[in-house]
Amino acid sequence: AQTVTQSQPEMSVQEAETVTLSCTYDTSENNYYLFWYKQPPSRQMILVIRQEAYKQQNATENRFSVNFQKAAKSFSLKISDSQLGDTAMYFCAFMYNAGNNRKLIWGLGTSLAVNP
Amino acid sequence: DAGVTQSPTHLIKTRGQHVTLRCSPISGHKSVSWYQQVLGQGPQFIFQYYEKEERGRGNFPDRFSARQFPNYSSELNVNALLLGDSALYLCASSLEGALNLFFGSGTQLSVL
């Protein structure tokens, strides 16, 4: 069974500083994808960054980057130059092929507060 | 372009009632998925539809059903509501085969 674990229920960071959110996963699949989604108080789930498991290079999107360690099954998110608008729930998610569709398994989330 | 739209935004029902939630995908997206997000947890997959056909079903009882219409909008129906059905119901749309899902703002269902 596929599982996603986020071990940090809550985190806080000062504005302009860097913070890293942790995620580990368990799977026997070889072909899969990893995501970080952000859910602000508006409740809409917003894609932050995506990593294909077959790619060795870590994904980067502006201030957001990941540290993907496939052997360790670890997928952490680094937010640089944190901004007040980064305050949100952050979910790590794992996607794999299941028959004729793809399944998305989610962690429990990390609540990030960016303090002024 | 409009994003994924869901209606209603909030809903209060009593135990035993039924509810219908609606979702309109982004124009051009033919795949719609439904997720249940209980407070303090990550979303749980309920259904996926593509071209009006069910592509996947999560571990939910038969009280949950869904359908997709020719214009690719979708409805999620829940019968015989239980207190435990109280949750945020999220709809996501995507292009067929695409990895990225685009979510609506959800319907907050409260069952009293």
Q: Indicate the residue of B48, B99, B106 with minimum beta-carbon distance to A101.
A: B48
Q: What's the rounded mean pLDDT across residues B16-23?
A: 98
pLDDT (0 to 100) of residue B45: 93
Contacts of B84 (CB under 8 A, 6+ apart): B111
B40 interaction partners in chain A (CB closer than 8 Å): 108
Tell me what the pLDDT averaged over chain B comes to. Answer: 94
DSSP, residue by residue, chain B: ----EEE-SEEEE-TT--EEEEEEPPTT--EEEEEEE-TTS--EEEEEEETTEEEEE-S--TTEEEEE-TTS-EEEEE-S--GGG-EEEEEEEE-TT-S--EE---EEEEE-
Does residue B33 have a pLDDT over 90?
A: yes
The label of the residue with tokens 């249940």 reads B36
Neighbours of A88 (CB within 10 A): 21
Nearest CA distance, A105 vs chain B (angstrom): 7
- The pLDDT confidence band at residue A102, using thresholds 50, 70 and 90, is confident
Q: What's the rounded mean pLDDT across residues A44-66?
A: 95
Contacts of B1 (CB under 8 A, 6+ apart): B26, B27
Nearest Cα neighbor of A5 from B89, B42, B59 is B42
Picking from B5, B34, B55 by the largest number of A CB atoms within 10 A of its own CB, the best residue to mutate is: B55
Q: What is the rounded CA–CA span in Å between residue B48 and residue B88? A: 17
Lowest mean pLDDT among A12-21, A27-36, A72-81, B15-24: A27-36
Contact B101 A42 (CB under 8 A): no
Nearest Cα neighbor of A115 from A16, A18, A14, A19 is A14
Does residue A61 have a pLDDT over 70?
A: yes
Compute CA distances A45 → A98, B40, B50, whole Å.
Answer: 23, 14, 21
pLDDT (0 to 100) of residue A70: 94
Does residue B97 have a pLDDT over 90?
A: no
pLDDT (0 to 100) of residue B107: 97
Does residue B66 have a pLDDT over 70?
A: yes
Q: What is the rounded CA–CA span in Å between residue B66 and residue B88? A: 16
Q: What's the rounded mean pLDDT across residues A81-89?
A: 97
Portion 89-108 of A in contact with B at CB < 8 A: 91, 93, 95, 98-104, 106-108
pLDDT (0 to 100) of residue B109: 98
pLDDT (0 to 100) of residue A74: 97
pLDDT (0 to 100) of residue A71: 93
Does residue B1 have a pLDDT over 70?
A: no
DSSP, residue by residue, chain A: --EEE---SEEEEETTS-EEE--EEE---SSEEEEEEEE-TT---EEEEEEETT--SPPEETTEEEEEETTTTEEEEEE-S--GGG-EEEEEEEEEEETTEEEEEE---EEEEEE-
- Name the percent of chain A lying above pLDDT 90: 85
Tell me what the pLDDT averaged over chain A comes to. Answer: 94
